[in-house]
Structure 1
Amino acid sequence: MRFLMRCVFFALFVTGFLPLPAADPISLHPDNPHYFSFRGEPTILITSGEHYGALLNRKFDYLRYFDELASHGLNHTRVFSGVYLEIPASFGITDNPLAPTAKEFVCPWVRSDFPGASDGGNKFDLTRWNPAWKERLVDLMQAADERGIVVEMTLFCPMYKDELWNVNPMNAANNINGVGDCPREELYTLKHQGLTNVQIAFSEMIVNELKDFDNFYYEICNEPYFGGITMQWQHKIADVIAAAQQNAPKKHLISMNIANGRQKIENPDPNVSIFNFHYCVPPTTVAMNFGLNKVIGENETGFRGNSDVLYRTEAWDFLLAGGGLFNNLDYSFTPSHPDGTRRDYSSPGGGSVELREQLGILKEFLYQLPFIEMSPSASVVASVEPELSVEALGNPGEAYAFYLHVPLPSKPQDLSRLLRDNIEANITVDLPSGAYRAEWVDTKTGKVAKQQSIVHEGGKRTLTSPRFSNDVALRILKDE
């Protein structure tokens, strides 16, 4: 019934019987484009999201998923469009949301009357859109909208292995249109006009379908640095999206996924406003690209083990380094556990209810700061004892935020040997003269563990933390 009501509601929008919502889409903040503006508020996107199959996998209940994100104040998710899918054995992921059965696969293209697709179903017709996919797309977007969740709509993804190309609708073996008779490395290269035409038509169609929503942005392609994808093809799709939006009343942001780890961006595409990275430990890519004056995001983590401390510290580090978007790849969300309660997964990363609670604490910490007025401020930190990793944001004389944690490599071999309890840290900071209020915040509970008022003459000042395990946060605000 709820689905039917949404469909009727959207139909009334489309036919003009109800006015379209006036909200502008999420955009770069006009005062600080390293962050977002969404529904009139400064915004940082933070989440721990499912493995991208919420739209294309009919078995995945995105209402329960979105409810779980919203219950922790998380405001973001990544969604793959349905052009790409995986198989159950892909990447060792337990109950993989991106690996639906043929019956549960909701593809943008409709199946024809001709049998013979590699998944056992009928072949696809790449000239006809699937009404069931469009209906699910609208319902998913409306559900996210109601909960204040911003969707990254990822259009394309490389074929990492032949086994993924073998099941893809754009493979000539799986469609009736005679396109896609090529190696997987040539899928996104502009070498085959028939394939390029299919990809352009899909991009134009989805722009039209989503034009009235304010709670999303486009990502051109997930991990385009794999699978032979060319930069020329990425620029082409960015141009297509921009052209399709040219006369639209609402212009939606475009994201490009740059690299795993870090990379200096040279000659950025002028259509792109968000530059996303994966596995940013340490978060040095933010400083490398801060001069672009765009959002620098980390929209995928994982493959470090399943301990919450790894992804909690990664999130705090990245956002306190000046990033504007963070998404942990959360394997506790599966089609059988869309509320993120699966504990027995053997996937190559982490995710849990407790981690989502901790990311909600991070979001609350940041939202209590005037972060639009702040920027990376590593030079404020003169020293830290004992040896700890530190990231800092600041607005001189007004507001500062610091995050301290035990040093952790990207992929610890023996995590237990690196973790520490009962730490007391001394951080020496260089502050202008003034009156300040300092608060040490427990990153696991969100509670203020210690606070003090400071009347400072200017220069270096040492503050001592309460005792903590592994990590702690500090904010220093001008005392009115």
Structure 2
Amino acid sequence: MAVAPAGDSAAYPAAYPAADPDPVASSGAVGTVEGSLATMVDRRKRIGTLFVFLLGGALMMTAGSICAAAEPSRPISLHPNNPHYFLFRGRPTVLITSGEHYGALLNLDFDYLGYLDELHAHGFNLTRTFTGVYCEAPGDFKIKNNPLSPAQGRLICPWARSSTPGYSGGGKKFDLNRWDDAYFARLKDLVTEAGRRGIIVELVLFCPFYEDAMWNLSPMKAENNVNGIGKANRTDVYTLKHKDLLAVHEAVTRKIVGELEDFDNVYYEVCNEPYFGGVSGQWQDRIIAAIVDAEASFVHKHLIAQNIANGSKKIEHSNAAVSIFNFHYACPPDAVQINYRLGKVIGDDETGFRGSGDLVYRTEGWDFIIAGGGLYDNLDYSFTPEREDGTAKPDAPGGGGPTLRRQLSILKNFIHGFDFVNMAPDNSILHNRLPEKTTARALVEKGRQYAVYVNGEGLKELVVDLPEGRYGAEWVNTQTGAVDKAETFAHGGGRRTLAVPGYREDVALRIVKVPSLEPGG
């Protein structure tokens, strides 16, 4: 980073940009012939004659080039030097997004292309979506225009429809012995388009049935399929009690994992909020084993995530195959501190139930990432099947919208402006008495780089413990991305008092060591 001489702020950037999307890149995905053809047909409808031109060029590729393209890419993985973070396409990565309510795949009325374009415009690199084995009815959880609530007959899921009418959500019943080719074409196209935009897909395989009304909509309930499978109470579905259901769960897991073998931008979360609805730990282990077994012959393996708790919980025992531990509503970010010892990614992948204002979800994200978290997914209710560009006014138990997305993109760019793989949470460098209801935390590589976040108003000065050296400091406005104050200073070691510029609600500080101006320094 270019740093101005002491007393001169001209060399500092005027602002942290509100969007810095990664370049569009190929996902390296190679599917089955049938899936690839279905995807190509869909693309042709979307881009017309340009598709024909590109296809003609593709057919002129040499056989050697085609073989080279078929080599699968290494999927997103834990960073080998610091597994609290990711490595994706050769780059250290923190996943940050503000995404829709999980219906982009299963809801045929949801245009995921427009949605992915909006995420990409803000530089976001994650979306979370459900597979279609679970959906909701209109009005569930008091969510208006819910992407997880398809209109009558508009649910698409892994299983094909039968010729028998009677699905409770509209249309024909499902046949749990047959796969729906159109579903898997849509799944692979969504993951492909996300990959072209540098976006990771967290694919959530299952979700508990919070109420009977949700179980009544599931294709796995006996009344909704022609196989007579699923004669169970909703709280017994994700246990080992019903062997016919367990066989369906394992089969659909293997099928999905097999279809997505060659995609580098996907990982699997076993089950959303398994601490509700009777989901058993033994059942989760069976699904994890099914993923591992399905990938046994793969050149590269995909990460597996497990949703641990709402808020925070100390993980005492974990499955060795799990690499990501997700929490919901993780504010304050205690889940990071008490589980940091595990050496895995800690994520906060659902927000909400704190009103619709931007402040609470912006500060939740900043607190979580600067605490050492590797993943933050704000649940953004401004994305609906009518407004996939995220311009709807949220009418739900949460927030979202263009302003919040711009603010969270500042967080994404801020953290990626550091060599964060070499950093760790360390609040011991801060020596302030803070104003009431104000918190401060730091992510640190001592003597080299410091990310500090202050949540709350009224702080006039910040006391930071720094080794001897010359440093540059930038105070970043978390709402605009502007650098409100910049300075360089020589420091003899020990505590350094920095004057805080005027700010509203919260502020971030970047400190980096810079070359000495002394000869030979």
**Contact residue 134 and residue 217 of structure 2 kept, 8 A:** no
- Deviation of the 1:99 alpha carbon: 0.4
Q: 1:22 to 1:175 in 2, by over 3 A?
A: closer
**Contact residue 86 and residue 93 of structure 2 kept, 8 A:** yes
3-state SS of the aligned residue for 1:199? helix
3-state SS of the aligned residue for 1:67? helix
TM-score (norm 2): 0.86
Structure 1 distance, partners of 2:204, 2:281, is: 17
TM-score (norm 1): 0.93
- Deviation of the 1:3 alpha carbon: 5.5
AA of the residue aligned to 2:482:
K
Listed as ranges, the gaps of 5+ residues in structure 2 are: 1-37, 45-50, 516-521
1:66-85 to structure 2, matched below 5 A, reads 66-85=116-135
Aligned residues: 462
Q: Tell me the alpha carbon deviations over residues 77-112 of structure 1, each in whole angstroms, 9 at most, x when there is no partner.
A: 001011111000110111000000232111111111
**Contact residue 397 and residue 432 of structure 1 kept, 8 A:** yes
Paired residue for 1:428? 463
1:209-220 to structure 2, matched below 5 A, reads 209-220=259-270
Q: Does 1:268 align with 2:298?
A: no
3-state SS of the aligned residue for 1:280? coil
**Contact residue 153 and residue 170 of structure 2 kept, 8 A:** no
Paired residue for 1:288? 338
3-state SS of the aligned residue for 2:444? strand
Paired residue for 1:368? 417
**Contact residue 286 and residue 321 of structure 1 kept, 8 A:** yes
Q: Does 1:307 align with 2:342?
A: no
Structure 1 distance, partners of 2:232, 2:407, is: 46
- Deviation of the 1:361 alpha carbon: 0.6
Identify which of 461, 466, 475 aligns with 2:501: 466
Q: Does 1:137 align with 2:187?
A: yes
Structure 1 distance, partners of 2:390, 2:362, is: 17
Paired residue for 1:112? 162
Listed as ranges, the gaps of 5+ residues in structure 1 are: 407-419
Identify which of 432, 437, 444 aligns with 1:383: 432
Q: Tell me the alpha carbon deviations over residues 305-331 of structure 1, each in whole angstroms, 9 at most, x when there is no partner.
A: 010011000000000000000000000
- Deviation of the 1:386 alpha carbon: 2.9
Paired residue for 2:48? none
**Contact residue 3 and residue 139 of structure 1 kept, 8 A:** no
Q: Tell me the alpha carbon deviations over residues 188-232 of structure 1, each in whole angstroms, 9 at most, x when there is no partner.
A: 001100000000000000011100100010000000000000000
Q: Tell me the alpha carbon deviations over residues 47-72 of structure 1, each in whole angstroms, 9 at most, x when there is no partner.
A: 00000000000110100000000001
1:35-74 to structure 2, matched below 5 A, reads 35-74=85-124
**Contact residue 73 and residue 262 of structure 2 kept, 8 A:** no
Q: 1:108 to 1:382 in 2, by over 3 A?
A: same
Larger Rg: 2
Structure 2 distance, partners of 1:441, 1:328, is: 21
AA of the residue aligned to 1:174:
N
Structure 1 distance, partners of 2:419, 2:170, is: 55
Q: 1:21 to 1:443 in 2, by over 3 A?
A: farther
Identify which of 76, 86, 94 aligns with 1:26: 76
Structure 2 distance, partners of 1:275, 1:282, is: 16
Structure 1 distance, partners of 2:156, 2:509, is: 46
Structure 1 distance, partners of 2:276, 2:385, is: 27
**Contact residue 72 and residue 263 of structure 2 kept, 8 A:** no
**Contact residue 86 and residue 99 of structure 1 kept, 8 A:** yes
Identify which of 28, 41, 53 aligns with 1:4: 41
Identify which of 480, 489, 495 aligns with 1:445: 480
User: Mean Cα displacement is larger for which, 149-158 or 172-181?
Assistant: 172-181
Paired residue for 1:415? none
User: Mean Cα displacement is larger for which, 292-301 or 385-394?
Assistant: 385-394
Structure 1 distance, partners of 2:433, 2:487, is: 19
- Deviation of the 1:426 alpha carbon: 1.2
User: Mean Cα displacement is larger for which, 299-308 or 428-437?
Assistant: 428-437
Structure 1 distance, partners of 2:459, 2:334, is: 26
**Contact residue 39 and residue 189 of structure 2 kept, 8 A:** no
Q: 1:40 to 1:110 in 2, by over 3 A?
A: same
3-state SS of the aligned residue for 2:83? coil
**Contact residue 6 and residue 142 of structure 1 kept, 8 A:** no
Paired residue for 2:452? 402
3-state SS of the aligned residue for 2:349? strand
Paired residue for 1:416? none
Paired residue for 2:197? 147
AA of the residue aligned to 2:41:
L
Structure 2 distance, partners of 1:445, 1:119, is: 44
Q: Tell me the alpha carbon deviations over residues 140-169 of structure 1, each in whole angstroms, 9 at most, x when there is no partner.
A: 011101100000000000000000001111
Instruction: Please tell me the root mean square deviation across aligned C-alpha atoms, in Å.
Output: 1.9
